[in-house]
Amino acid sequence: MQLNIEIPTGIVPAEGILPALRKVVNDAVAAGVARLPGGETEVSCRAGCGACCRQLVPISDIEARALAALVERQPEPRRAALRARFEDVARRLDEAGLGEAALAPTRQPMAEQKTLAARYFSQALPCPFLEAESCSIHPERPLVCREYLVTSPAALCATAGHPDIDPVAVPHLSTLAPRITAPDTGRRDTMALPMLFRWLDKNPTAPAPRPAEEWMGRFLAAAREASS
């Protein structure tokens, strides 16, 4: 793939390159959709189907900071309602014994990650941003949400691991996002989206701003390493 990526000029916080990362992921997903067998197969995801929005959605630290800022920018009473939804999901995860693991799901061994994802889905916890079964932050949704598209009947996504779910094959570039700040933070793990405020309470200090080229260079280096 050849990509034209616009990045900010100057020194920016790491989350400053999120718009560029969204463009990269969008283009990669569009390329995957374009490879579907012509005329016979189409993406069945539609606004109003939020079945996949009850899965464990892993996000990176830069997305956590951007989404927290997005929530805090909302006018009242929407801001307070969103914060209450986040707290409600986190509390219910605690009650299910999943709170700690949901703070760092990708730090678990792979077999345990699958068990955690299944247990999380069984709680049927809607994403705090899900409203009327649609994403209320669609233009700013996490990278991983952009990568989940299916061609099978949308209703199947309500059953975790249904054998007839047919996802569109796309590169999972979202998994590389934590690598952008890893040299500063020493962390490569993610968190379940509803835990982001809990995670920020424990990790309040953002990495120092750097030139946007440097942030993007780290992402592209991670992509090269993953594909080699």
- Binding footprint of ligand SF4 on the chain (CB under 6 A): 53, 57, 127, 129-130, 135, 137, 141-142, 145
Contact assessment for residue 188 and residue 180, using Cβ atoms and an 8 Å cutoff: no
Alpha helices in 35-177 (DSSP H): 61-73, 78-95, 99-103, 110-122, 143-146
Contact assessment for residue 142 and residue 192, using Cβ atoms and an 8 Å cutoff: no
Helix (H, G, I), strand (E, B) or coil at 134: strand
Burial pattern 13-32, b for ≥16 Cβ within 10 A else e, equals bbbbbbebbbebbebbbeeb
Q: What is the DSSP letter of 222?
A: H
47/221 with CB nearer ligand SF4? 47
142/207 with CB nearer ligand SF4? 142
Tokens of 208: 């120092």
Least CB distance to ligand SF4 at residue 56 (A): 10
104/130 with CB nearer ligand SF4? 130
38/139 with CB nearer ligand SF4? 139
Tokens of 122: 């069984």
173/216 with CB nearer ligand SF4? 173
Cα 167 from Cα 61, distance rounded (Å)? 26
Tokens of 179: 């690598």
